[in-house]
Structure 1
Amino acid sequence: MDSSGSHPAWRPEEPWPATFAVPLSVDAPFEADAFLAGLAGALEASIEVLEFLPSADERSPWSVVVRIPGRGAPVVVSLERTKRMDEVPPAIAGRVAASRFTLIVESLLESEDPRLDWAKLVGIATAHDASIAVLDASTGRWFDGPEIDGDLLDAELGPPEDVLWRVQAVSTSEDLDQGTVWLYTRGLLRCGLPELELLEVPGASAPAASRILDALAALLLEDGPPPPEVPYSIGPGIDIALIPWREAIEALDPESLGDDADRAALSQETPNPLQARRAAVCDIEPKGSFKKIWTWPADAVAHFSRPDASIYRSDAATARSSAIARRSWNRAVEARASTGEGLVLLAGVPLGADADGRIEHAWVQVDSTTAHGGTGLMLRNAMDGRAAGTSVEFKAADIDGWRLVRGDVAIGPEDRVDPMTFAAEGGTGPSA
């Protein structure tokens, strides 16, 4: 997302780099030339060395600035002694703890398509054969070898959009039913977007609020953020407004988190991303007669709390999920046919576009299938007037998702559960 055309309230004050740390299973440091030769072989391209940076001490054997074909921004690659790392997944914690050296890769994301450029940088960072996993420092997320070699660097699909950000939540109470939650994204600044946040959300509504931030972030990567206070649609009849965070916290309840002091306390980074360009997601109508008081979008959160809620999706997300769903659709159909009653197959299908060209995506409960598609009943009313329960005919080539559901348990094409195994074992998988 190129921020140059966005409203001044949302333009980052300075570029935010993407940084990746890759702990290695090597006993001794190696030369930069050796790594660059291996990288050139992996990329099947020549690497231009722009500058060797001086090493601060023995904890940083080398650092080099290079240019990669197909990327405008230079890339800084460094070898450092491994430092203590937090939130390491248990499956790789032992290997990471034993690592003696770590590769650090840093660059600005290309604004035209930050998702695919993120994948390029991960490919550079993990080019060494001794790579254990990669830590995205901007989001704090870890990705292990199977994820990197499979989904993330799939040449046809590219990585999912949500690798670019992470939703974090902090609460005023250990009991979510009693306190409020402040939710915010980490990672969008490096994409040329403001970070997003929701303030004073009741704890019980936090999961739905998190889904709003995920959906909105994906849409803004393609559309760019609207000007402050201008309604922006995230689903049929579901609008929100973006408000600069300093304006949104003016009437913040003292018992809720999110004021300036909280932001200073929660991040020790310089500059502090919690005090940078950020947009609070609010209801489109402020409260108050004499002074605007912006509040969290209760109607939108209620809409997103429904498991079958119709929402708008970005073109990239639709294309990726559609490709994955189509790859495994026949397997899902086979699983449904292999068992008796109790296993429900849902298909995600595009229903049509609104006046702005946004496609409405909805779920239908499949009642029959053919070699090329099937029919099913709509689970909710559509914006074109069709009511829930209306029979819809669809083509397998058009589906953008599927779900196998038994009771309160469901799986989809992006879950690492084989549909036939799910059907045979009585429905053990991710929660619906």
Structure 2
Amino acid sequence: MVIEEFMYRVARRPLSKLIALLPAAEPPPTFEELERNVSRACLPVTLRQNASGSRIRALLQEPAGTCAFDIEVNLTELLPRCLELARLRGGNFDAALASQFFVCVSCKLGRDVLGSLHAQLRLLAALAPEAVAMLDLNAFHARTGDSLRDAAAASVPPAPTSFFSVHSVFDDHRKAWLHTHGLQRMGCIELDVVGVRRRDAAALGELINNVARFFLDCGVPPPNTGFHAGNDLALVWLPWEAGLQHVDASPGGMADRDADHGGERGILFAPSKESPDRLEPPRRYVPMIEADPIFYVSPAETERMERLARERLPSFLALQSRYAKNGKWDFHVKLGFPTDDNADGYTCGGAEHLWFDVHEATAKSVDGTLLNRPYRISKLRQGERGTFDLKLLTDWAIESPRGRYTPESVLQLERGEANVSARPLLH
């Protein structure tokens, strides 16, 4: 149980700012055109404009209450140049560079940060239905217009990792500095790992992702207080100024700490094996992370993943039916089983989530082979094949010649196979 009064509280949460880049040939939308767009998207939104026309306010009616947003339409040349448009590829990159106008939706996130961010995405997609790209000013990254429309079309919010980025900075001596952008708006400190090898960056980036999810779900523990991100993954964090006293950080030292890389930012450390009071970079966890780590996932995040996996299960089933006999494709499902010490059910969280290689699947069941070694379920064995009820489904994944796809990204895979674009959210 999280006791909130003992959790670290972020002092100042910045506004969340998401931007839609409009097609090059598209003029800036008028207030009336914005009203028509949200009406066609069937969003319960009221737009209000001040007397001078310089400010637009949007009020979105949600089940939990009314969400307020500020809307701006302006020239793209006024945007900061530090955004990572390089994440876009080919025609998406060219379209983003050619854009002349943008629509920005900004807000202060509510207590349900994922719900607030999803509402912000849905409003942005409705206001700019033909957007060629979305820029996240807090996370310093860009996504395609199709990705914006995919996330807005779902009834389930995207993963927390969709709303922050992990940047990697390398020096000439194969040292790495990993750090996040985008977490502070969600009430979490930004996270750093310094003093590690370049070759360990991918594994430690995964560690940062999971620590961030843990902090977002359970709260940020006080600095220099031990916590576990997963099985045998003991960690502490220190404010970056104090953390730099414990490690030779280059890159990531004082010379690199400008306004965007300071503030409420913590450096992750592992207690030393020789002396728990001595802290060191968490590089000793790299082999464990690269093998088969068990990270802690909160019940709330498990439920979110399950809901999205079920919502987009028809896409998984259609692709599995089409490519089941193609050796270049693999289809996996994650099923949650009650553990031996909680055999009557797992309402208290007593579930172990296991991956299965799928041989055949229907809307109700799956024929699969267990890929993991169970830790707390004696009736299952790694390599065992059987038919299992999809009521146990919590996640799925597809390995294809185009890469790995999940419920978050499967619509992109389907479009690639069909060579089409996502439709605007118009009814």
Task: Output the TM-score relative to the length of structure 2.
Answer: 0.76
Which residue identity does 2:131 align to in structure 1?
S
SS at match of 1:283: strand
Q: Is the 8 A contact 2:268 2:282 kept in 1?
A: yes
1:35-79 deviation line (CA, Å, top 9, x unaligned) = 345435545435253746x7xxxxxx8333443334656422122
Kindly report which structure 2 residues correspond to 1:224-303, keeping only aligned pairs within 5 A, or say none: 224-253=219-248, 256-264=250-258, 272-285=259-272, 292-303=277-288
Counterparts of 2:122 and 2:216 in 1: how far apart (Å)? Answer: 22
1:304 partner amino acid:
I
* 3-state DSSP of counterpart to 1:47: strand
Give the superposition deviation at 1:226.
Answer: 2.4
- Corresponding residue number in structure 2 for 1:117: 116
CA contact (8 A) 1:236 1:310 kept: yes
Q: Identify the residue that residue 19 of structure 1 maps to in structure 2.
A: 17
**What residue in structure 1 maps to residue 31 of structure 2?**
32
Q: Which residue matches 1:95?
A: 95
Give the residue type in structure 1 aligned to 2:121. Answer: V
The alignment status of 1:143 with 2:143, answered yes or no, reads yes
Structure 2 CA distance for aligned equivalents of residues 342 and 36 of structure 1: 47
Q: CA 1:300 to 1:111, structure 2 compared with 1: closer, same or farther past 3 Å?
A: farther
After superposition, the C-alpha distances for 1:117-145 in whole angstroms (9 at most, x for unaligned) are 21221232331355332211111222323
Q: Give the SS at the match of 2:118.
A: helix
Contact 2:204 2:283 in 1 (8 A): no
In structure 2, how many angstroms separate the alpha carbons of the residues matched to 1:350 and 1:357? 10
- Deviation, 1:185, is 1.3
Q: Which has the higher mean CA deviation after the structures are superposed, 326-335 or 218-227?
A: 326-335
**SS of residue in 2 equivalent to 1:360:** strand
Question: Over aligned residues, Cα RMSD in angstroms?
Answer: 3.9
Which SS does the other structure have where 1:401 is aligned? strand
Query: Any idea what the Cα deviations from partners look like across 1:283-317, whole Å, max 9, x if unmatched?
Result: 1458769xx542222343322212x4333333255
Shifted more, 28-37 versus 137-146: the winner is 28-37
Q: How far is 1:391 from its partner? A: 6.1
Q: How far 1:345 moved relative to its partner?
A: 4.9
* Rounded Cα–Cα distance in structure 1 between residues aligned with 2:132 and 2:199: 37
- Mapped to 1, the partners of 2:97 and 2:391 lie a distance apart of 46
Distance 1:387 1:12, change over 3 A: same
Q: Which residue of 2 aligns with 1:68?
A: 60
CA distance in 2, matches of 1:6, 1:287: 33
* Equivalent position SS for 2:229: strand
For 1:310, the aligned partner's letter is I
Say if 1:352 and 1:172 are closer, same or farther in 2 by CA, change over 3 A.
Answer: farther
1:321/1:280 CA distance change after superposition, 3 Å: farther
| Gaps in structure 1 of 5+ consecutive residues | 55-60, 265-271, 422-432
Match in the other structure for 1:207? 202
Deviation at 1:188, TM superposition (A): 0.7
After superposing the two structures, state which structure 1 stretch, 368-377 or 156-165, moved more. Answer: 368-377
Whether the 8 Å CA contact 1:310–1:362 is kept in 2: the answer is no
C-alpha distance in 1 between matches for 2:338 and 2:283: 26
The alpha-carbon distance between structure 1 residues 358 and 183, as it changes in their structure 2 partners (threshold 3 A), is farther
8 A Cα contact 2:335 2:393, kept in partner: yes
Q: Residue 47 of structure 1 corresponds to which residue in structure 2?
A: 46
- Once the two structures are TM-superposed, the CA of residue 184 in structure 1 deviates from its matched residue by 1.3
Identity of matched residues, %: 17
CA contact (8 A) 2:15 2:185 kept: yes
Say if 1:318 and 1:400, in contact at 8 Å, map to a contact too: yes
- Alpha-carbon contact 2:272-2:278 (below 8 Å) kept: no
| Separation of aligned partners in 1, 2:144 and 2:117 | 16
Aligned pair in 2 of structure 1 residues 342, 156: CA closer, same or farther (>3 Å)?
closer
2:178: which partner in 1? Answer: 183
Number of matched pairs? 394
* CA displacement, residues 189-242 of structure 1 (integer Å, 9 cap, x when unaligned): 000111122122221111111111122222322211223344333333433323
Conserved? CA contact 2:15–2:106, under 8 Å: yes
Matched, 1:193 2:178: no
Q: In structure 2, what residue type is equivalent to 1:17?
A: L
| Aligned 8 A contact 1:312 1:358 in 2 | no
